């Protein structure tokens, strides 16, 4: 019934917060199933893992529709909580449909993901989830240039692809001013 969104730039602790909510739910004996797109295999293929090393077992799925298939195959009905990590990577139409379907169940869906890409363009899935959410938490990181709150993800590499999996090797958290001064190649909105 409820939708919660945890978003923000890279290194803002989104995954940490998602794992914290999952852990709390498990203490309350709620049934939780966690998913992430299989595109994201930076740390682990079978768990949600934060930069600080916290982990939570999950299903890595190729398509967002696989989430419903897995729930159905288990034959235990819908869990109390469905957690979806890195939700910006799923195909848009499918994501919308799956989220709306989950919302109709007695299930709380917690969506975690990047609110904007490196060029400052919002990710459609997260915009949609924020629109229908009961609760939205926009987290900030710390700007590596000036120490202010960072809302932007800056890409150090020359790549212009929207999705490029990486860590501190190619990404930095920056405040808007520091992000803008060294503007990425792609034109921002
Ligand atoms: Zn700054």
* pLDDT for residue 186: 53
User: Which pLDDT score, from 0 to 100, does residue 40 have?
Assistant: 62
Residues 8 and 89: their CA atoms lie apart, in Å, by 15
Please report the pLDDT score of residue 43 as a whole number: 58
* Domains, in order of start, for the chain: 3-139 (3.40.50.300)
How far apart are the CA of 148 and the centre of ligand 1, in A? 5
CA of 149 to the centre of ligand 1 (A): 7
How many whole angstroms from 7 Cα to the centroid of ligand 1? 19
pLDDT tens by residue, 5-59 = 999 999 999 999 999 999 999 999 999 999 999 976 665 668 888 877 888 899 9
**Ligand 1 centroid distance, CA of 142 (Å):** 8
pLDDT at 179: 95
86 is catalytic: yes
pLDDT at residue 169 in the model: 83
Angle between helices 124-132 and 92-103 (to 10 degrees): 20
Which residues of the chain register pLDDT less than 50?
none
CA 152, CA 25: separation in Å to the nearest integer?
A: 30
CA nearest to 120, candidates 67, 189, 27, 59:
189
Catalytic residue among 4, 56, 85, 86: 86
Q: Does pTM surpass 0.75?
A: yes
The whole-number pLDDT of residue 78 equals: 95
Predicted confidence at residue 182, as pLDDT, reads: 76
């Amino acid at each position: 019934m409820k939708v919660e969104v945890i978003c923000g730039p890279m290194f803002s602790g989104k995954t940490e917060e998602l794992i914290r909510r999952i852990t709390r739910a498990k203490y309350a004996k709620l049934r939780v199933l966690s998913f992430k797109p299989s595109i994201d295999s930076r740390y682990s293929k079978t768990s949600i893992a934060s930069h600080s090393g916290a982990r939570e077992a999950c299903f890595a799925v190729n398509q967002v529709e696989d989430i419903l298939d897995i729930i159905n195959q288990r034959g235990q009905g819908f869990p109390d909580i469905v957690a979806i990590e890195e939700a910006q990577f799923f195909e848009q139409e499918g994501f919308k449909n799956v989220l709306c379907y989950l919302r109709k169940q007695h299930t709380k869906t917690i969506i975690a993901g990047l609110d904007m890409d490196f060029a400052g363009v919002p990710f459609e899935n997260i915009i949609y989830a924020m629109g229908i959410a009961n609760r939205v938490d926009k987290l900030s990181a710390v700007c590596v240039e000036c120490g202010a709150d960072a809302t932007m993800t800056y890409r150090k590499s020359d790549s212009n692809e929207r999705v490029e999996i990486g860590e501190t090797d190619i990404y930095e958290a920056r405040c808007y001013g520091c992000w803008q001064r060294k503007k990425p190649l792609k034109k921002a909105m």
